[in-house]
Amino acid sequence: MRRSVFTRLLVVVVLIAVCSIAATAWLATQLTQASIAREQGRELASDNRIYATLLTYSTDHRDWSEVDGYVDSLIREHPGRRIVLVTKDGRTVADLGGDGGQLPAKAAAVVDPLEVDPVLVPGAPADRIDKRVLGPFRTPIDFRDREDPTGALYCLRLNKKERTGLDCRERDLPFDTRADFTALLELEDLVNACLARRQLPPVDLDPDYTPAQKQSTGVQPPDEPAVGACVAASRKEQLTPYVAQPVLLYLTNPTGTPTAAISLSGNGWRVVGAAAAVLLVAVGVAAFAGARITRPLRALTAAATHMSGGGDIPPVPVRGQDEIAGLTRAFNTMAANRAQLEQARKAMVSDVAHELRTPLSNIRGWLEAAEDGVHDLDPALITLLLKEALVLQHVVDDLQDLAVAEAGSLRLTLERVNVVTTLEQVQAAHEARATQAGVTLSVTADPALFVRADALRLRQVLDNLVANAVRYVPAGGTVAVEGTSEDGDCVITVSDTGPGIAADDLPHVFDRFWRADKSRSRSTGGSGLGLAIVRKLVEAHGGTVGVSSTTGVGTTFRVRLPELT
């Protein structure tokens, strides 16, 4: 079963709507997520800088008493952020950049140089102790002297462990080296106390806090993970007095409301619901628009079907100014033109039948009379039959010329034609008939006036116009033919002083088989095709022909052709 235009249109609109909605939703989601990610990235970078600044403060200070100045500078550097520092026992150290509103349930980070957040500080040491915290040491771990060329350090270690009382000449050592080794010995005491609690043997530490046995003898110390845990715990115990105590860092907006992370992953059904609602609206609009579009199309289809059956149809109603309304107007115009053409066709068939019926009836009548012996087949009868045959031939020739001209198949032999010469030939051809009818025929033209035309067809045009004028002008009247140059064109006028043509008849002068006097006989009126042939011949030359007339005064035909200079 074939689907209707409305169904196909609705399907197309639905598919377009679905694809558009899906693409728009996906694009909006991607752009929103990217925008949120950028915004969160900027906030995260800002928060990281705040954390890093406060962490630096905590490594350089033993308490938070001077932190307000640092926090105030951070607020100016990162406007729109509220910074709150709270100790683990709930005491507020600093609260700047906000109105003192409620804090989030979870802190953004813990500022503790002995427990550095590896997420906020990429590359943090494995024991999470900030390398900048030296405590009792004088030099960073990477710059401590690990050599003992004089044995002084070994002597100091031996005196400490066995209390030998040896003179280790430690005064000859650099102050920083002596201080660093003293701090290392203190750390060993803390580590060995931790190991003793775990029932593990003591160890000696190198300046990098690794067990000395491992590097000196290559022997793996017992339970190395336990030793590493005691070293990390002992280091934190040793360094705690030299840094600020840990605090909770809260980062919010100035009102205290925490910044919620936005995620679109849980809103899938909302997106689907919104898309479905938009789709329903699109389908409804498509159905309404489709009905409005297909209603006039169905009316046009019904009218075209009725027209194909040969019936006359009333005009299809036109609604609006859109393309379909334009199509409807064009269809109505086509239907009206078709009706006029059909009426003209019927009239032409009737006219042709009428024009041929009379001479054929005359010929048949005379022949039947001769056959029945009523009239002798003498030369006079033959002359009458020949005259009627010539009338038939004239009608047929005129119809053939008109058909060729209307089909655009008329062949013209264009050449340079002198207008005055052509007019003089026309005058010579019609002078005798004009004199016989008591009509004065005159021609005038500029000798230098030329046109590019087919000389025989131009004669045919002028012969028709002059013959008609002479035929209708009463005795004592005049027919004047004049050739002039006007606006770059050659204008040939044929004017007569005949009875004129009524204003209502002027639009029909060039119609086929038209006669001003419907009762006029063929012997005086010709075939009724002459002026129709004149118009087609003039148009074939790229010109125009018109007529003006005043009843009781006369008629003027104007032929305008391109002038040849």
pLDDT at 158 over 50: yes
**pLDDT higher than 90, residue 128:** no
- Region 460-485: mean pLDDT is 91
Is the pLDDT assigned to residue 457 strictly greater than 90? no
> Do 528 and 512 meet the contact criterion of CB atoms below 8 Å apart?
yes
| Residue-level pLDDT at 475 | 92
Considering the domain architecture, whether residues 111 and 11 belong to the same structural domain is answered as yes
Judged against a pLDDT cut of 90, whether residue 491 lies above it is answered with yes
Pick 209 or 499 by higher pLDDT: 499
Mean pLDDT of 274-303: 73
Residues 69 and 177 both lie in one domain:
no
If you compute the radius of gyration of the chain from its CA atoms, what whole number of angstroms results? 59
Range of the domain at 516: 412-562
Name the most confidently modeled range: 246-255, 290-299, 469-478, 527-536.
469-478
Query: Is position 522 within any domain?
Result: yes
Domain for residue 344, yes or no? yes
Q: What angle do CA 460, 483, 542 make, to 5 degrees?
A: 55
Question: pLDDT digit string (tens) for 388-445?
Answer: 777 677 667 766 766 666 666 667 888 999 999 999 999 988 998 999 999 999 999 9
> Does residue 305 lie in a domain region?
no
Same domain, 111 and 30: yes
- pLDDT (tens digit per residue) in 183-213: 777 878 888 888 888 888 888 777 777 776 5
Question: Both 419 and 507 in a single domain?
Answer: yes
Select, from the ranges 182-186, 315-319, 337-341, 536-540, the one with the highest average predicted confidence (pLDDT): 536-540
Lowest pLDDT segment from 50-59, 144-153, 481-490, 497-506: 144-153
Q: Please report whether residue 276 resides in a domain.
A: no
Whether residue 38 is found in the same domain as residue 60 = yes
Is there a single domain that holds both residue 152 and residue 216? yes
pLDDT at 417 (0 to 100): 92
Percentage of the chain beyond pLDDT 90 is 13
Are residues 439 and 512 both part of a single domain? yes
Region of 106 on the Ramachandran plot (φ > 0 left; ψ -120 to 50 alpha; else beta): beta
Does 181 lie in the same domain as 237? yes
Residue 306 lies in a domain: no
Average pLDDT of the segment spanning 29-36: 62
3-state helix/strand/coil string of 182-217? HHHHHHHHHHHHHHHHCCCCCCCECCCCCEHHHHHC
Domain boundary among 410, 429, 460: 410
* pLDDT of 112 higher than 70: yes
Mean of per-residue pLDDT scores for the chain: 77
- Please compute the mean of the pLDDT values over residues 442-469 and round it to a whole number: 90
Q: How would you class 300 by CB atoms within 10 Å of its CB: exposed for 0-12, middle for 13-18, buried for 19 or more?
A: middle
Q: Which of 45-49, 396-400, 550-554 has the lowest mean pLDDT?
A: 396-400
Q: How many domains does the chain have?
A: 4
Out of 376, 410, 444, pick the residue that ends a domain.
410
Is residue 220's pLDDT more than 80? no
Q: What is the pLDDT of residues 131-152, one digit of tens each?
A: 888 888 777 766 655 555 555 5
Q: Are residues 109 and 147 in the same domain?
A: no
Residue labelled with tokens 């377009």: 16
Residues 108 and 254 in one domain: yes
Same domain as 539, residue 427: yes
Query: Hey, is 372 helix, strand or coil?
Result: coil
Whether 190 is in a domain gets the answer yes
Position 2 pLDDT exceeds 50: no
pLDDT at 487 over 80: yes
**30, pLDDT greater than 60:** yes
**Which of the listed residues 354, 385, 410 is the one where a domain comes to its end?**
410
Has residue 196 been placed in a domain?
yes
Q: What type of residue is 126?
A: A
499 or 272, which is more confident? 499
pLDDT at 37 over 60: no
- pLDDT score, position 490: 93
Residue 561 has pLDDT above 90, yes or no: yes
- The CATH number for 367's domain is 1.10.287.130
Helix, strand, coil % over all residues of the chain, rounded to 5: 55, 10, 35
In the prediction, which pLDDT does 33 show?
Answer: 61
Asked whether residue 292 is assigned to any structural domain, the reply reads no
Is the pLDDT at 162 greater than 90, yes or no? no
Residues 404 and 416 in one domain: no
- In CATH, what number is assigned to the domain containing residue 417? 3.30.565.10
